[in-house]
Homo-oligomer: A and B are copies of this chain.
């Protein structure tokens, strides 16, 4: 058992491309620097108290309204949207409204999902519904979604209309994915295909939109936009596969989540469904344990000690769920990078999108 427990803190890297760490950090930093002031100005348009509730959610103020410098996420989406504009030969700045709109939709979904899922913590802080109540989580989520459309449409261009349409389609898929996620929680068996479809909707669609929206605003044709979407979709699936690995074997200090967090929430994530698809003794034992777990109340489940989660993690690993998910991340990474060859892109843009894809699969949080 101790090997597994120690193992928790080990890198979950499924593949080790030579990541240009400084380059990626600079891209993420540029995305954050150019996007945040516009995002803050958009949020400041909201009437009180929604502006403050949103500012709390984004980590700009604490629960008492004092300015903070909390962790506001990895900011991969803004970085993608700016590079995407350069993919169409436009300046990075052309992608800013797209980056802001995608961030607004992403955070609208976080506000609503945290409430629906009853999650009390996000990015090391209490969630909005926990601090400001369910009504504010619903209202401010709605307002961020509406703001996303406003930010794009006030550009008043044909390109902005196309970008909004793509963002709306991605949002509908995001909502579908959350609906599937909720439905699967109550199902005894979920297939690997169903899990991948859900993750494609819940994570892939918006990353695909982030990767193409800058190009759309920059006047790219549909073929270029669709190719960048395909890159973003597979990047999203790689991202989610790594997230699912981190959700079981991630280091709590790095992820900001409890150890074994996905197992505590009885999530049917990729390593779990892949393990259950096996027919060996570990998979059968895991299936029996999870079936018994499903009958437990949340309170009974809370009483579990670390060893019980470690035992489940070990069975998932023995049944091949960990390896399969690592390989899946590698496959999706490769497909994402390969998609970039289907269209003419400036060489620097291709290199940057590849570096971001590399980063996504080696990240530890």
Asked if B153 and A138 sit within 8 Å, CB to CB, the answer is no
Asked if B165 and A138 sit within 8 Å, CB to CB, the answer is no
Chain B residues in 8 Å Cβ range of A135: 116, 182
Asked if B142 and A175 sit within 8 Å, CB to CB, the answer is yes
Tell me how far the C-beta of A201 lies from the nearest C-beta in chain B, rounded to whole angstroms. Answer: 9
CB-CB contacts of A144-158 with B at 8 A, as 1s and 0s? 011101100110101
Asked if A183 and B115 sit within 8 Å, CB to CB, the answer is no
Query: For residues 209 through 228 of chain A, which have their beta carbon under 8 Å from a beta carbon of chain B?
Result: none
Asked if A175 and B143 sit within 8 Å, CB to CB, the answer is yes
Tell me how far the C-beta of A296 lies from the nearest C-beta in chain B, rounded to whole angstroms. Answer: 21
Q: Cβ of A112 < 8 Å from any Cβ of B? A: yes
Chain B residues in 8 Å Cβ range of A164: 149, 153, 161, 164
Asked if A171 and B146 sit within 8 Å, CB to CB, the answer is yes
Residue in contact with A139 in the complex, picked from B150, B160, B165, B178, CB distance below 8 Å: B178
Q: Cβ of A91 < 8 Å from any Cβ of B? A: no
Asked if B168 and A149 sit within 8 Å, CB to CB, the answer is yes
Number of identical monomers bound together in the oligomeric complex: 2
The contact size tier of chain A is 35 or more
A47-B176, A116-B139, A138-B116 known; A154 vs B158 contact (CB < 8 Å): no
CB-CB contacts of A169-187 with B at 8 A, as 1s and 0s? 1011001101110110000
Asked if A139 and B175 sit within 8 Å, CB to CB, the answer is yes
Give complex CA distance A134, B115 in Å: 9
Smallest CB-CB separation from A149: which chain B residue?
B168
Instruction: Please give the residue numbers on chain A whose beta carbons come within 8 Å of chain B beta carbons, in ascending order.
Output: 45-47, 49-50, 108, 112, 115-116, 134-135, 138-139, 141-143, 145-147, 149-150, 153-154, 156, 158, 160-161, 164-165, 168-169, 171-172, 175-176, 178-180, 182-183
Enumerate the 9 nearest inter-chain pairs by beta-carbon distance, A residue then B residue, closest first. A161-B161, A153-B165, A149-B168, A116-B135, A47-B176, A146-B171, A146-B172, A143-B175, A150-B168
Further 9 A-B residue pairs, CB within 8 A, beyond A112-B142, A143-B175: A46-B176, A112-B139, A116-B134, A116-B139, A142-B142, A143-B176, A146-B175, A150-B172, A158-B158
A-B residue pairs in contact (CB < 8 Å), sample of 23 = A50-B176, A108-B142, A112-B139, A115-B138, A116-B134, A116-B139, A134-B134, A139-B179, A141-B142, A143-B176, A146-B172, A146-B175, A147-B172, A149-B149, A149-B168, A150-B172, A153-B164, A153-B165, A154-B165, A156-B165, A160-B161, A161-B161, A164-B164
